[in-house]
Structure 1
Amino acid sequence: MDDAAFRLAEARGRETASGPVAVSARYLPNRRTLVVILSTGVEVRVPVDLVEGLAKATSADLSEIEVTPAGTGLHFPRLDADVFVPALVTGITGSRSWMAQQLGRAGGKARTEPKIGAARANGRLGGRPRKVS
C-alpha cells in the first residue's frame, strides 16, 4: 500500500467512525490530568490516577502521548500502555476487574457509623478469626 492509498483509507476510517474521536491529547503534570480533544471540539479531562495503567506513571512517562491514526486510541510509548478513547468518554477507565478493585478500595476506606459499630462488635468477639493453613 502506498502513502496515497493509506491516507485515503485513513480518511474513510474517520468518516465511518461512530462517535467522536481524539484529535490530540496532552498531559497536565501540575494537575496529574489527561486532556483529550475530540473531533467535536469537546475537551475531556480525566485524572490519570483513575485510568488503569497510568496511575503510578511518572510525569515524564505521561508526557509522551500518541493518538492512533483513527483517533480511537491513545498510546503511551514509554509505558507501553493504551487507552480506548470511546470507553474513556463514557467513563470506563479500565478493565472490569480493575474498576471493581478501585470501587472496593474506596468502599474499604469509608468511615460510617454502622461500619465502625460492626468493627467494634467484632473486636469484642475477639476480632477476625485466624487463617488456618
Structure 2
Amino acid sequence: MQAARKRAHALKAHVPKAVAARYDAASKALVVQLEGGVYVGFPTTALQGLEHAKAQAMRLIEISPSGYGIHVPALDADFYLPALLEGIFGTREFMAERGRKGGRAVSSAKKTAAQANGKLGGRPRKVTSEVHVA
C-alpha cells in the first residue's frame, strides 16, 4: 500500500490533473482543460470507443475525483489522462491496428520481411565513430 501511495504522489508531482472536459463539435475533438489553464484536444476519431461518436453522445463528459480519469457515460468510454498525454488512445490491439506503437502490429508482410532480413544477417550494426580530442 505504501508503494502505491508513493507512485500516486510521484504522479501528482509530474502529471497535471483534468479540471474540465468538453466536446468541440467544430474540430470533433475531446478538449480537456488541465489545472493551470492549459487545454489539450484529442480527435475523437483517434480515441477507442469514440471513433464514430455523435455530438449528442458527447454532451456529458465526467472527470474522476482524482482528475486522471475521463468518462463518457453515453458511450461507456473511459480514458486515463496520463496515457492520453503519452499518445495512448486505446488498448494495445486498438493502437496496433492504427500503426501506433511500432513493432506491435503483426501482419504476414511484416513477418515475411523480418524473415528475409534475418536470412541476410539481420539488421546492420550501427557504426560509431570515435572522436579524439587533443
TM-score range relative to shorter protein: 0.5 to 0.7
Q: How many residues align?
A: 92
> Where do 1:34-53 residues align within 5 Å?
34-53=30-49
- Give the deviation of 1:17 after TM superposition: 2.5
Query: Are 1:97 and 2:93 an aligned pair?
Result: yes
Deviation at 1:39, TM superposition (A): 1.3
Higher RCO (C-alpha under 8 Å, 6+ residues apart): 1
Change (3 A) 1:38 1:71: same
Secondary structure at the aligned position of 2:98 is classed as: helix
The match for 1:17 is 12
Between the aligned partners of 2:62 and 2:28, the Cα distance in structure 1 is 18
User: Aligned pair in 2 of structure 1 residues 63, 15: CA closer, same or farther (>3 Å)?
Assistant: farther
Q: Which residue of 1 aligns with 2:77?
A: 81
- Runs ≥4 residues deviating over 3 A: 13-16
Task: Pick the aligned partner of 2:25 from 25, 29, 38.
Answer: 29
Letter paired with 1:35: V
Structure 1: state its 5+ residue gaps: 1-12, 105-133
Please, what TM-score do these two structures have when normalized by structure 1? Answer: 0.63
TM-score in terms of structure 2 length: 0.63
Q: Tell me the secondary structure at the aligned position of residue 60 of structure 1.
A: helix
AA matched with 1:54: L
Alignment check: 8 A CA contact 1:75 1:83 kept: yes
Cα distance change, pair 92–16 in 1 and its aligned pair in 2 (3 A): closer
Flag the 1:40–1:58 CA change in 2: closer, same or farther, 3 A.
same
Unmatched segments (≥5 aa) in structure 2 = 1-7, 101-134
Preserved CA contact (<8 Å) 1:22 1:72: yes
> 2:59 aligned with 1:63, yes or no?
yes
**What SS does the corresponding residue of 1:54 show, helix, strand or coil?**
coil
Q: Which shows bigger deviation, 20-29 or 40-49?
A: 40-49
Q: 2:9, 2:64 → 1: CA distance?
A: 11
Contact persistence 1:22–1:38 (CA under 8 A): yes
